[in-house]
Chains A and B, each alone.
Chain A
């Protein structure tokens, strides 16, 4: 008899705890549901707050960063003396390796018509160091800028670069607009 009581009490306690835990789960789910977003998020760099510190290259969890330089051609001045392509003390404005700012020679310079040159990024080579972006932003129009490429990015729960970004330029943005490409300069330039 006493043994039966023992088992019954245990079963009763178990049931009580089970109901309590169910309530706790439902409560957590309910509170989360109240402010739930239907959106899925991806990480992206706001090019207007980015300061090109270079941590995108080193802090991504991938062996080669998912951050790449993107060229907003709309903004480009097609300059001969490109601040993003040439080292500040370049000897001549030629495509010789010693003149290039890019450590992996990922920028291709193509003559179009006098005096204009087109610059394109080879994303296979780009390591996301942002050296060209700094050059272009300091001396040019800022048409080169960094973006997280979503075909490479594994969308970590917390972006390892976002954690160390000194200007806090990386944030979650909705999946349906996954890029912040400079382009419509007048519209997106938040002063």
Chain B
């Protein structure tokens, strides 16, 4: 009998413990006599997934439209109206997100991270403008990209920049691209999105620095046409590569250039290359020697770039939150007990050991070591090739767009007096 009672006691005890384990509520939910009905917590639905596909369809339509107006119709008006529609849709309706410029970070993160995978529509936004650039030139920049179009609309008094300055500033996008990929691939930050100057204007509200940056770019953009596209945009680098080797890039004239010079000043982006004339003055021993010297220097630049950057990898790694916190706590152990720093307080409250944190930080730092080596090699190579290009002279006749710099805005068409009879307005 006693044993039986004991068994029942043990059974009840385990039951109560189990129940307590399940309901950790300090105050049990009351049972109401007044017929009170408990409301449901509502959960407003996000934008449905099918809408993402509409974005992709609009993108394809806009890119095709851009190619149509630039290559076939040769119509600035068409490009202008299409670009305004794109600005309205991708800029003000979609509020700047999703965008091809930022998508390169998602792709970078997807390629290097184990936990993140890009979705198909992000891949479409990344790859389609590049494919179109490889075929038709940068129609994305001219007709579709809301960031570019916004700047294009404020080009009022474009000034010609000195060629040297333009070449020097033109190196910055490579730097930006390199660091954007480094930070995205290590899962640290999406700097392109964070410092997107125009998203604040699209959303009609943003942190102060974003709005300031956007208005600054637009003010500069009145005189220096499309400053973000030419001297900042990291996605522009990829588009430039594609467009430079594009199959059916636009031409200023529909037929043979008569070198009338009417179009020479029509491009606000300094992307029209005048005829080179006779280049035989450059084919001297002096230039050959310069070329060879620079060619030998390219790998030197690349290696020293990699060496230099990889030696400062821990500096860049501190952009990562975990590394930053670990560094701070290891260098100043007394800070563990300080109050006022939210990150430290939260870390201490989480019960994680300092050793685990240091381990995590070391792994991220190792990633940064590899990343900065690759980044340094890349930047050195870019710098070397930029120098090399200063002593390479390629002959060509007639005024033609610089296939890399041209954003396919179609402004120059109207300046060309050459017409193709019967073929005009095909």
Contact with B along A21-42 (1 / 0, CB 8 A): 1100100110111011111111
Residues 331 to 351 of chain B near chain A (Cβ within 8 Å): 342-343, 345-347, 349-350
A40 touches B121 (CB 8 A): yes
What's the nearest-Cβ distance from chain A to residue B147, in Å? 14
Q: Given A154-B203, A163-B189 in contact, is the A178-B347 Cβ separation under 8 Å?
A: no
- Whether the pair A61, B206 counts as a contact (CB closer than 8 A) is yes
Q: Are A25 and B120 in contact (CB under 8 A)?
A: no
Expressed in whole angstroms, the Cα–Cα distance for A14 and B98 within the complex equals 32
Interface of B (DSSP majority class): loop
**A167 in contact with B350 given A62-B203, A113-B33, A156-B97 (CB within 8 Å):** yes
Q: Is A70 an interface residue (CB 8 A)?
A: yes
B342 & A53 in contact (Cβ 8 Å cutoff): yes
Task: Return chain B residues, CB-CB under 8 Å to A31.
Answer: 111
Answer yes or no: B1 CB below 8 A from chain A CBs: no
Bound-complex Cα distance A160 to B350 (A): 22
Question: In whole angstroms, how far apart are the Cα atoms of A188 and B23 in the complex?
Answer: 12
Q: Is B424 an interface residue (CB 8 A)?
A: no
In the complex the two chains form, what is the Cα distance from A25 to B104 in whole Å? 12
Contact present for A112 and B32 (CB under 8 Å): yes
Interface contact B127-A40, CB-CB below 8 Å: no
Contact present for B32 and A36 (CB under 8 Å): no
Within 8 A of A (CB), among B309-365: 321, 342-343, 345-347, 349-350
Tally of A-B residue pairs with Cβ under 8 A?
Answer: 166
Measured CA separation A10–B245 after assembly (Å): 11
Least CB distance, A63 to chain B, in whole angstroms: 5
Q: In the complex, what residues of A have CB within 8 A of residue B347's CB? A: 166
Given the complex, which residues of A lie within 8 Å of B33, measured CB to CB? 113
For B346, give its contact among A112, A118, A154, A166 (CB under 8 Å).
A166
Which one, B26, B45, B241, contacts A77 given CB within 8 A? B26
Which of B25, B119, B342 makes the CB contact (< 8 A) with A185? B25
Q: Is A189 an interface residue (CB 8 A)?
A: yes
Q: B residues within 8 A CB of A175? A: 46, 49
B-binding segment of A89-97, A124-132, A145-153: A145-153
A residues less than 8 Å from B156 (CB atoms) = none
Are B346 and A53 in contact (CB-based, < 8 A)?
Answer: yes
**One of B34-42, B69-77, B137-145, B382-390 contacting the partner:** B34-42
* Contact assessment for A63 and B130 in the assembled complex, using a CB-CB cutoff below 8 Å: no
Which residue on B lies nearest to A182, using beta carbons? Answer: B41
Residues of A within 8 A of B (CB-CB), count:
70
**Bound complex: CA A96 to CA B395 (Å):** 83
Contacts A77-B26, A166-B342 given; does A178 touch B46 at CB 8 Å: yes
B405 at the interface (CB under 8 A from A): no
Contacts of B44 on A, CB cut-off 8 Å? 149-151
B39 and A185 form a contact (CB under 8 A) = no
> How far in angstroms is the closest Cβ of chain A from B385?
13
Instruction: Find chain A residues with CB under 8 A from B119 CB.
Output: 36-41
A79 engages B32 (CB within 8 Å): no
B107 touches A78 (CB 8 A): no
Q: Does B255 contact A (CB under 8 A)?
A: no
Sorted nearest first, the 7 A-B pairs with minimum C-beta distance are A77-B27, A150-B46, A166-B346, A151-B44, A158-B190, A17-B245, A37-B117
* 27 interchain pairs, CB-CB under 8 A: A25-B131, A28-B127, A32-B123, A36-B118, A38-B120, A55-B342, A61-B206, A62-B203, A62-B205, A70-B41, A78-B27, A78-B30, A112-B36, A113-B32, A113-B36, A120-B39, A141-B26, A149-B44, A151-B46, A154-B95, A157-B103, A158-B105, A179-B43, A181-B41, A183-B41, A185-B23, A186-B22
Q: A70-B41, A158-B194 are in contact. List 16 more A-B contacts (CB 8 A).
A: A21-B134, A21-B242, A25-B127, A29-B123, A31-B111, A32-B123, A36-B123, A61-B206, A77-B30, A78-B27, A78-B29, A141-B26, A147-B43, A163-B194, A166-B347, A181-B43
